[in-house]
Every structure is written in C-alpha cells, then in structure tokens.
C-alpha cells in the first residue's frame, strides 16, 4: 500500500519539473463530482466475521483519553483536536485508505508552472451555516494561517505560499516562493480544513475585543463536513451531529460523542459494559483482555507516529552533545517495546517511519552501549553524574517509560525525578522550554520527510510548532531548507539521508519506537477507519443492534 504511494510521489515530482498536468483522480479522468470513497477495513478487524445488514442512526460514543485544545484547525496542533476537526472540516484534497491523494473540495488541479498550482473547486458545496464554499473561501483560509496575527502553530505548512489568487468563483491558484514538492499533502493536513468566511470574520471581531485568535472558531466551528458541531462541555465531551445537508454521501449515525475518559481502566470497563462503542489508546497490557471480550475486539493500526524521549538542548547539561549521546546510548529501546509495550511498537532508528518518504535504512543510529555512554559522560565532565527531571503526561506507557529511564540512568549516576503533568499544561510548558527532558510523540500525516523533520527540528520552529527540544543547528537547518525546495526526487532523498545522519550525530532526542495504535471497538460497530496517523474517519461508520 505504501509503496504505491511512494511511486506516486516520485511521479509527481518529475511532473513538477516538466510542468505538465498532474492528474487529480486515480482513474485519470480529470476530476470527479462523486463523494470520496471512505470504506473502512472489513469487520474482521473488530472481531466480527458475519455479514451484518447496514443500518443508520444512533449515537456513536467514543471514549477518548485527552481533552481537546481547540477546534480551530489553524491554531491547534494536537492529535485529540485534529481527530474531531477532521470530521467537521474538509480540505481541498485528502488521503484515501490506500494513502493516495484524492480530490475532495477540489475537483481537479493543474501545475501551471513550477511555482503555481491551480485548483478547480467543487460547486454547490455549503458550509454548516449555509454559506457558500468558493475560491474566496480558499484564499481567506490560507491567508488567515499566513497572517502573523493568527499566531498559527501550523504556519510551517504553508509559509512558502506567497500568493493565493482567485481566478473566478470556482478557480483558485496557489503560488509558492520556491518549488515545493509536498504542497498537495500539506493541503490534505487538517490545517487545510476550510472554515466559513462568516466564522473567520466573527473570530476577527472576537480578537478585536480582546480574545485570543481562534477562540470564537474553537467554540463555534463551521466546516463543510459530514458532521457538524453540536456542543463542547469542557473536560467532559464534544458532540457532533450528522450534517443532513452534506454535499456528498451522508454519515450513517445520527451523532458522535467524544467523551473524555482519562483513566485507561475506565475506558476498558466502559467498552466491556457497552457504555461506549470505541475506546481509544488502549494499553498493550490489556491486549489479551480486550481480545477475550465477548462483545468487542481490538483494532491494531501501525502508525507513522514517532515516540521519543527528548532533551532541552538549551539547558545544561543537555547543551553538551556528549551528554545527549551518552543518555541515548544508555537507553535500550527493546526494553521499552518488549517490557512496556508487550511488542506493540516498531523499533525506531530515526524520526522517519519506514513508510514515510525520505526514510533511509542505511542510516546507522546510536547503539545501546552502556560502557561507551559512561566514557562519553566522563569526557563531558559528568563522571559523577547529575540530577535532572523528565516530564510526561499521565499516559501509562509514557509513565512506565519515564520510570525505565529513571532506572537505566542510575548506571550513569544520573538521578532522574519523574514529573507527571496535566496534558494542556504539558503542551504549554514544553512549548515554553520549562523542561529538562520530556516524553512525547510526533505524527506525520503527510507521509513526507518535510513534515516529519522541518517542524520538529528546524530552529525557526522552537516551541509549540514542534521543536520542543529547542534545537538550533545551522547545518541541519540548511539541509531541511534545501529538502523542502528540491524537486529532483533522488537529490531530495539524498538530502534527507544526510539530515538523518546529522540528527544521529547531534542527538536531540532518543527515538524509541513507532507506534501501533490500539483501539477497542464494540462488535456492534462497522466500517470504522483509523488512518496511519491515528485519525478516526467516521463517515461510513454504522452501529448494528
């Protein structure tokens, strides 16, 4: 499945150079007015083998681990928020189940020249507030992200855009400063979700009255999607209802309730008792129990998401690369994958999962070597160790990982205190650089090295955008800048290989594993689709009696 996507990317890059038409549909028919296909894997993924007659209606209840940050796709940058936003908003293009780009609000697109991508938009699409989707909407949305007043955490996705030109009501051109190979997948990101012009204007008015950018939209989100916003009770739940005026195939359930259930055992119990239909982020230690449930099963989805242990490279002693290398060499990822995750993880050698364009198997990571770690630490002047802290949120596996680190670093005479921080505070304080070490993850919804590395490591993106290690490395910055501007496929891969090798050398984080998302699903739920970056796509989900 992934290999076909990579070949599409290579072809797209070559077409960019030759300035010919990029096909907008997989069947090369120049566009389609049909609703996107969103059929999920068969019911065997949830333990259901029998054919069940499709039904409509009902309230799909999903137990989620974390409270969302906001429902403005331009100002939030967390997976829980994106998980809901993807079902409210729609973008110009999207990734299907085969991880291939397909048209959504755009019917087709043409590469006019190496800097200009022209979109022909779908006509007759209405927002949830009954306003029209058109080229002016596209222009307003992209320009809102680019506006410094928005303070968008997702600016890096579109910062190369210099112009958005309305050609006519349903034709729009996006012009970039330089040839940018992954522009289409960036437009498929949740940040590319289209908000109604009326909602954008009301948010501007709220900002003028002293509110933060996105405050109005977060509490009054208006998209074009198959679900529309009903309410958000802070700390408790978010409810969406079916959009009966949707331009395409309607959702099958009446509503979806995302219920915040922070404690893993409670999520499992509510799945077992039938109080919820779907329970996200189940723990590896519960795999056997879930598989044995008479009324539910387990969905295991390999992710493009990286889990990592990171350093604040601007705080001593982590300003010394030898200290970072030593700690990296003292951690055995196999202990985490086998001992904590029960095998539900894929060993990581760097920031790029194998399915991400730019991954290079020849890059050699720092190997587990406790004696070598001791020697490096002594060379850095810390033979007697030091005291530090590691932060995590309340995820059981992350807490256990922090405790493993605490134990492993005793061999280097490093005294580590584990601090568990509430999720919203965790994001805010790591963005502000208040931490020493921390545990977090990074998903790559575009399956491209630019997204996986530019936000996470470029010095322009310190803080909430992604670079919470506060890494500043001129050589790496140059490689990442060149990688996003290079259009030759082979040259681009060579740049990202060099960037990965540089990251091994400067060691801003320990790449522990790529995740396997474990989702508990009731046997009454059918056609559930979770993407490789952990997003629930719920258009075709239905509940049987």
Say whether both 10 and 154 belong to one domain. yes
pLDDT of residue 32: 28
Q: If you compute the radius of gyration of the chain from its CA atoms, what whole number of angstroms results?
A: 23
Are the C-beta atoms of 96 and 4 separated by less than 8 Å?
A: no
Q: What angle do CA 495, 457, 164 make, to 5 degrees?
A: 80
Are the C-beta atoms of 43 and 299 separated by less than 8 Å?
A: no
Does pTM top 0.85 for this prediction? no
CA-to-CA distance for 325 and 366, rounded, in angstroms? 8
**Separation of first and last alpha carbons in the chain:** 33
CA-to-CA distance for 211 and 215, rounded, in angstroms? 6
Are the C-beta atoms of 2 and 91 separated by less than 8 Å?
A: no
What kind and span of H or E run contains 101?
strand 101-103
Domain assignment present for 283: no
CA-to-CA distance for 516 and 6, rounded, in angstroms? 21
CA-to-CA distance for 121 and 31, rounded, in angstroms? 10
Domain assignment present for 492: yes
CATH of the domain at 436: 3.10.105.10
Say whether both 322 and 448 belong to one domain. yes
CA quadruple 118, 536, 54, 129: dihedral sign: negative
CA-to-CA distance for 541 and 539, rounded, in angstroms? 6
Say whether both 6 and 135 belong to one domain. yes
CB atoms within 10 A of CB 113: 11
pLDDT of residue 8: 36
Q: What is the pLDDT along the chain (545 residues), one digit of tens a residue?
A: 333 333 333 334 433 333 333 333 333 333 322 222 332 223 333 334 445 566 778 999 999 998 999 999 999 878 889 999 999 999 999 998 888 899 999 999 999 999 999 999 999 999 999 999 999 999 999 999 999 999 998 999 999 999 999 999 999 999 999 999 899 999 999 999 999 999 999 999 999 999 999 999 999 999 999 999 999 999 999 999 999 999 999 999 999 999 999 998 999 999 999 999 999 999 899 999 999 999 999 999 998 889 999 999 999 999 999 999 999 999 999 999 999 999 999 999 899 998 899 999 999 999 999 999 999 999 999 999 999 999 999 888 999 999 999 999 999 999 999 999 998 899 999 999 999 999 999 988 888 999 999 999 999 999 998 999 999 999 999 999 999 999 899 999 999 999 999 999 999 999 999 999 999 999 999 999 998 888 999 999 999 97
Domain assignment present for 80: yes
CA-to-CA distance for 426 and 413, rounded, in angstroms? 27
Say whether both 365 and 508 belong to one domain. yes
Domain assignment present for 405: yes
CATH of the domain at 10: 3.90.76.10
Q: Where are the alpha helices (DSSP H) in 19-87?
A: 79-85
Domain assignment present for 447: yes
β-strand 542-543 against 525-526: which pairing, if any?
Answer: antiparallel
Q: How many domains does the chain have?
A: 2
CA-to-CA distance for 422 and 435, rounded, in angstroms? 14
pLDDT of residue 20: 32
Say whether both 327 and 178 belong to one domain. no
Last residue of a domain, one of 213, 233, 262: 213
Side-chain-side CA neighbours of residue 528 (13 Å):
33
Task: Quote the domain boundaries for residue 124.
Answer: 2-28+70-213
Domain assignment present for 126: yes
pLDDT of residue 47: 38
pLDDT of residue 260: 96
CA-to-CA distance for 227 and 244, rounded, in angstroms? 9
Last residue of a domain, one of 195, 213, 231: 213
- Identify the three-state secondary structure at position 431: helix
Say whether both 208 and 339 belong to one domain. no
pLDDT of residue 153: 87
Task: Please report the DSSP string for 121-139 in residue order.
Answer: EPSS-B-TTSPBP-HHHHH
410: which residues sit within 8 A by CB, 6+ positions away? Answer: none
Domain assignment present for 192: yes
Say whether both 319 and 173 belong to one domain. no
Task: Please report the DSSP string for 354-398 in residue order.
Answer: TTSBT--TTPPPPPP-HHHHHHHHHHTT-TT--EEEEEE-S-HHH
Say whether both 207 and 355 belong to one domain. no
Are the C-beta atoms of 105 and 91 separated by less than 8 Å?
A: yes
Q: What angle do CA 535, 539, 543 make, to 5 degrees?
A: 105
Domain assignment present for 263: no
3-state helix, strand, coil in the chain (%, to 5): 35, 25, 45
From residue 476, alpha-carbon distances to 319, 473, 512 in Å are: 16, 5, 21
Buried (b) or exposed (e) across 433-464, using 16+ Cβ within 10 A?
eebbbbbbbbbbbbbbbbbbbbbbbbeebbeb
CA-to-CA distance for 42 and 528, rounded, in angstroms? 9
Last residue of a domain, one of 184, 213, 242: 213
């Amino acid at each position: 499945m992934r290999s076909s996507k990579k070949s599409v990317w290579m072809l797209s890059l070559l077409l960019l150079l030759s300035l010919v038409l990029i096909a907008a549909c997989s069947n090369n028919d120049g566009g389609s007015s049909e609703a996107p296909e969103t059929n999920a894997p068969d019911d065997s993924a949830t333990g259901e083998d029998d054919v069940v007659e499709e039904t409509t209606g009902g309230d799909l209840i999903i137990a989620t681990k974390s409270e969302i940050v906001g429902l403005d796709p331009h100002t939030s940058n967390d997976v829980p928020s994106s998980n809901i936003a993807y079902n409210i908003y729609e973008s110009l293009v999207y990734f299907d189940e085969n991880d291939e780009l397909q048209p959504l609000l755009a019917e087709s697109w043409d590469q006019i020249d190496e800097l200009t991508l022209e979109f022909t938009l779908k006509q007759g699409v209405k927002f949830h507030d009954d306003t029209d989707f058109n080229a002016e909407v596209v222009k307003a949305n992209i320009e809102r992200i680019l506006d410094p007043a928005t303070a968008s955490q997702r600016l890096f996705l579109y910062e190369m855009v210099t112009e958005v030109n309305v050609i006519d009501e349903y034709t729009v051109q996006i012009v970039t400063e330089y040839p940018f190979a992954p522009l289409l997948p960036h437009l498929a990101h949740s940040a590319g979700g289209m908000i109604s012009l009326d909602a954008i204007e009301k948010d501007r008015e709220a900002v003028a009255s002293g509110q933060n950018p996105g405050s109005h939209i977060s509490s009054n989100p208006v998209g074009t999607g198959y679900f529309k916003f009903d309410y958000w009770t802070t700390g408790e739940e978010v409810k969406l209802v079916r959009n009966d005026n949707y331009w395409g195939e309607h959702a099958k359930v009446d509503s979806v309730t995302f219920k915040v259930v922070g404690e893993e055992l409670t999520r499992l119990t509510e799945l077992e008792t039938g109080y919820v239909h779907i329970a996200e982020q189940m723990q590896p230690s519960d795999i056997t129990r879930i598989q044995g449930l008479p009324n539910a099963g387990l969905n295991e989805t390999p992710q493009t998401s990286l889990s990592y242990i990171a350093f604040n490279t601007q705080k001593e002693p982590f300003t010394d690369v030898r200290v970072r290398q030593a700690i990296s060499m003292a951690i055995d990822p196999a202990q985490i994958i086998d001992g904590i995750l029960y095998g539900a993880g894929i060993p990581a050698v760097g920031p790029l999962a194998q399915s991400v364009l730019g991954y290079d198997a020849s890059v050699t990571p720092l190997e587990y070597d406790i004696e070598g770690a001791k020697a490096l630490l002594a060379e850095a002047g810390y033979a007697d160790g030091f005291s530090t802290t590691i932060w995590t949120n309340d995820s059981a596996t992350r807490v256990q990982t922090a405790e493993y680190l605490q134990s492993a670093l005793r061999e280097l005479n490093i005294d580590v205190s584990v601090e568990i921080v509430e999720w919203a505070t965790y994001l805010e304080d790591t963005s502000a650089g208040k931490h020493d070490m921390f545990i977090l993850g990074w998903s790559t919804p575009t399956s491209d090295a630019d997204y996986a590395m530019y936000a996470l490591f470029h010095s322009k993106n310190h803080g909430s955008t992604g670079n919470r290690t506060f890494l500043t490395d001129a050589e790496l910055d140059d490689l990442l800048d060149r990688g996003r501007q290079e259009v030759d496929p082979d040259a681009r891969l060579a740049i990202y290989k060099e960037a990965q090798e540089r990251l091994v050398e400067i060691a801003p984080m320990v790449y522990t594993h790529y995740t396997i998302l474990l989702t508990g699903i009731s046997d009454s739920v059918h056609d559930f689709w979770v993407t490789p970056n952990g997003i629930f796509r719920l258009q075709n989900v239905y509940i049987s009696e």
